[in-house]
Amino acid sequence: MSETNKQNYFAQDVDFAKQELQTSEQGISASEAKARLEKYGPNEIQEGKKKSTLEKFIDQFKDLMIIILLIAAALSVVLEGSEGMVDAIIILAVVLINAIMGVIQENKAEDAIDALKEMSSPQANVIRDGEQVAIDSKEIVPGDVVVLEAGDVVPADIRLFKATSLQIEEAALTGESVPVTKELGVVDSDAGIGDRTNMAFSSTNVTYGRGQGIVTGTGMDTEVGNIAEMLEGAEGKTTPLQENLDALTKFLTYAIVAIAVFIFVIGLINGREWVEMLLTAISIAVAALPEGLPAITTIILALGTQKMADRNALIRKLPAVETLGGTEVICSDKTGTLTQNKMTIEKVYYNGQLHDASEEISFDEPVFRVMNMANDTSINNAGELAGDPTETAMIQFGMDKGFDVKAVLADQPRVGEVPFDSDRKMSSTVHPSGDQDQGQYISMTKGAPDVLIANCNYYYDNGEIKELTDDVRQQLLDTNHDMATQALRVLAMAFKYWDQEPAAYDSETLENDLVFAGLVGEIDPERPEAKDAIARAKGAGIRTVMITGDHKDTASAIAARLGIIEEGDEAAVTTGAHLNEISDEELAQKVDQYSVYARVSPEHKVRIVKAWQSHDKVVAMTGDGVNDAPSLKQSDIGVGMGITGTEVSKGASDMVLADDNFATIVTAVEEGRKVFANIQKAVQFLLSANLGEVTTLFVATMLNWQILEPIHILWINLVTDTFPAIALGLEAAEADVMDHTPRGRQSNLLSAGVLPSIVYQGLYEGAITLFVFWFARVQMQVELVDAEAMAFLTLAFIQLFHAFNSKSVFKSLFSHNPFDNKWLNIGVGVSTLLMLVTVFVPGLNDAFGTVHLVGDPRSTEMWTVILLASASIILYVEIVKAILRATGLAAKWQDNK
């Protein structure tokens, strides 16, 4: 942070700031502002250095599987010359496609966030050369005098020298949802940000009143910029999918190396040439490696991001799509995510009865008149409201009832007022009376119920003004308490008639001997869809944890209404004060006891996330403030808010909600589960096919059979693997995808029955291919080239039939329409066509040795064997699946995450 903002201006009087920054209450000149803009730079948060396209492209080649493929390609060229060049070209093509797609997706993610950043570019009102002007907030410089009004976004860090009932909501910086009342006095030099009441901080919101102050820091020299700078050095975390792919790559690498070395040694022992055996080992390595997996995984994830974007979830980091699917705990903000972030009147108490806001109310009821007329909300020509959320809720209530407050105030304008004061906890206005029989003027007062009721000597009851007895007073206080326990923010309304204009507009004159009019209960209501979303998450085994800066009673009541906790379950609710008293170790031990955290600061969020992660849980965390960024980074899936979120919190997130809606998170989790399931289907299909190829080559080598040429293996890998595997990524979500518990961090791409399926299916593919070769040579007595061709086509077509088996690990192919995935139908169709090209196109059939399968007297017999053997995998897998379901092994493997 630069020298301009290191002076602790909050601990000094205003004259010190004026002297240090060479300014006055009349501001600086336009020429001086220009010079300072060149010196300090624009007032904006600077992004960390972005990777160039070349750097992003190079990063795509750091994957172990990609490195192995590149080595295999190089060895193919060195050892096989021109023949190996075909292998190398195919491998390089797959690798390049994967790299290009990775770069495109990274750029698209950045574009999405850049688009969000363009949504907000606030203007600011400053005083320059003694006159107030509106400028772009980026042009503000230290020493500028900024004018703040309700509805403004504070454009920089400011030392205040004027504050008229000024309240600023600083949740973006401190996590505290209650607006802070600003005062001008000097505060202690060791005061925290939340206690620096004479400062206004960049990116916070003015909710009430007016103020002016001197800019002490801009851009990266603000408190917001300081946190953003600290985040630049934070290291990114690996996602479960990245860990799974790394683990799978290592597993395959070790297995392939072991098999290749074993075959190489056996060949040498049997007296075969070392070059021949090395080429054989390379062929097996190429057959075993699912070289299309990185590209296919990227494509499936990219398709998932498009689906999520259509449903208001913008994915910034590609693997986050899958991470969502493994989410076990969602730590969510209350305000704006679980609730509507819009104060709304829910209950109104008057005439001795509590009424629901939906009920009709007479415009002549004093409680209704006071809430609408003693109100500082501004209404523009479009009917939009600006001001303190508590007051705008009252005006909105009146507008919903058809009350024209602007017309009423035109007839009964405000002639005087006593602004709200945090010590009095009341505010009052004075208007001409609409009832000459009662008096010429009427004062209207609203404020905290306990304070206002104490200042009342009368109460209004169905058109009569009655004396306020102790019993009635206690009844009012009890009603206030009952409303507060329902998470309502309660305000009291009162009035007083005057025969002539009050002699003074002060609290002592206007706010005594009042007539109580009623109580207004407001709440930030839960989103209608949030309760259902939480129930869906619960049914899917996902724990929802609510974290808020609100009071414990409010948090508890909202959580009960949402179904996060049972009503009255106080043991599930804790506070930030309690977290301060316990260690991280104790929190980790007790973290599963708490579902609601109230009055917490953003630093508590990091502790909560770490506590859950200590139990190996996959944790999603929502946040919108700058200080939320560390917890967003710490969580497995950071979820930023697209509407209310700061740019820093969005930048620290893996996913951004375009609608700030909790239900969108649950929808994204469902999509993430589908994506992971589809990746598993692709892995099952690819690895079972590759195991079939390895089994065929391994056994054939051991038996000294010449069964498949390198061109056969490469063509099968290119044609029969890629298209069906990508199409499997477009499978619709299985109906019960949200009925299972989260797979969690312990699962991997081979869990939930995928590995056993790969083994029994891959071994069968290899066995059938070997059987067809043996049958062709021994029983049919065909030539070697024809037996090789039959084995080649059998291995290819058995994989295409098997693609349909891979639509589900355990469910029968015929439990629903087997052809409901049109992309799989197209993929298999294209692959089939490309395979037939090697048979029916002159020249190609000679290269692949399939000439005799066209027009030969025995071609029909050979095709019959090929197709029956290939199709047999459908029957085989259906029988095994039925046995697994009947014996309970399917359920056991599926639950073994």
Active site residues: 333
User: At 738, is the secondary structure helix, strand, or coil?
Assistant: coil
| DSSP structure string for 179-198 | PEEP--S---TT--GGG-TT
Q: Are strands 573-575 and 596-598 parallel, antiparallel or unpaired?
A: parallel
Rg (CA), the chain: 36
Q: Which residue reads 């060195």 in tokens?
A: 78
Q: Rounded CA gap, 519 and 617, in Å?
A: 45
Length of the chain: 897
Distances, alpha carbon 174 to alpha carbons 159, 548, 599, 621, in Å: 18, 12, 11, 17
Q: Report the run of H or E that residue 763 belongs to, with start and end.
A: helix 754-774
Task: Return all residues near 114 (Cβ < 8 A) that are at least 6 apart.
Answer: none
d(CA 695, CA 569): 59
Angstrom distance (rounded) from CA 715 to CA 712? 5
Give alpha helix (H) positions in 233-361: 240-269, 274-288, 293-309, 320-325
Instruction: Report the distance separating Cα 56 and Cα 438, nearest Å.
Output: 77
DSSP state at residue 644? T
- Closest residue by Cα to residue 773 from 847, 866, 652, 662: 866
Q: β-strands 205-217, 157-169: how paired?
A: antiparallel
Tell me phi and psi for residue 247, to 5 degrees: -65, -40
Query: Which 3-state string (H, E, C) describes 776-806?
Result: HHHHCCCCHHHHHHHHHHHHHHHHHHHHHHC
DSSP letter, residue 569: -
CA-nearest of 525, 546, 177 to 334 is: 546
Query: Which amino acid is it at 589?
Result: Q
Distance set, CA 854 to CA 212, 375, 845 (Å): 90, 90, 9
Burial 788-820 (b: 16+ CB within 10 A, else e): bbbbbbbbbbbbbbbbbbbbbbbeebeeeeeee
SS3 category, 346: strand
d(CA 213, CA 21): 12
- Collapse the DSSP code of 654 into the 3-class scheme (helix H, G, I; strand E, B; otherwise coil) and give the result: coil
State both tokens at 264. Answer: 């190489």
Provide φ and ψ at 447, rounded to 5°. 175, -170
Apex 249 CA angle, 246 and 254, nearest 5: 125
Q: How many helices (H) and strands (E) does the chain have?
A: 33, 26
Is the alpha carbon torsion for 531, 536, 541, 547 positive or negative? Answer: negative
